[in-house]
Every structure is written in C-alpha cells, then in structure tokens.
Amino acid sequence: MKHLNVDQKLRKGHKDVQNLGKTATAVLYTELQQLIVERMTEIKYIIEENKLEELRGGEDFEYCNEMVAIGMVRNESVLKVLRTYFESINKKSN
C-alpha cells in the first residue's frame, strides 16, 4: 500500500466524505419517499372512512393529526401538502 503525504490524505478523506454524503442523501430520499407514501395511504383511508361515517349519519370522525382535530386544517389539506412535498422531492431525486 502506497504511503500518502498529508495533502493526499486530506484529498482522499474529502473524497470519501463526499461519497458518503451522496450515499446518505440517496438513502434518505428513498426512506422519506416511502414514509410519505405510507402516510398518504393512511390519510386516504381516514378520508374514505369519514365519508362513510358521514353517510351513516354518525359523528365519529377520525383525524390524521392534531391540527385537523382542533379544526385548523382538513384531512384533505394535509394530504395535498404531502403530495406536493412528495412530488418536489421526487423531481430532485430524478
């Protein structure tokens, strides 16, 4: 194995860190996309269940988060925000 001088070691270390950063970014994009897709699926289910509950004349509605529960936003709004965010990170990763 070739012995490296200080400058060569710094350049090699910098390159190694850059490669690790690229790998970490790819992994995080993939994980984040999966989480968002799962969450959107959950919220779609909540929305559909609430529609059925409303048709039955009930008042036992589900909320996807605390902001919906206190009436600041609707489940559909949360879903729209997640879709927009998902589309933006999808464009960046392609």
- Assigned domain for 5 exists: no
Question: Which residue segment(s) compose the domain that 77 sits in?
Answer: 34-94
- Assigned domain for 18 exists: no
* CB 35 within 8 Å of CB 92: no
Total domains in the chain come to: 1
Three-state DSSP string of 63-92: CCCHHHHCCCCCHHHHHHHHHHHHHHHHHH
Q: Which amino acid is at 46?
A: I
Q: Average pLDDT, stretch 88-93? A: 78
Q: What's the residue count for the chain?
A: 94
The per-residue pLDDT for range 13-61, each reduced to its tens digit, is 889 899 899 999 889 989 999 999 999 999 999 999 988 888 888 777 7
Alpha-carbon span 92 to 94, nearest angstrom: 6
- Assigned domain for 17 exists: no
- Assigned domain for 9 exists: no
- Assigned domain for 89 exists: yes
- Assigned domain for 4 exists: no
Task: With a cut of 80, say whether residue 92 has pLDDT above it.
Answer: no
Q: How far is CA 75 from the centre of its chain?
A: 17
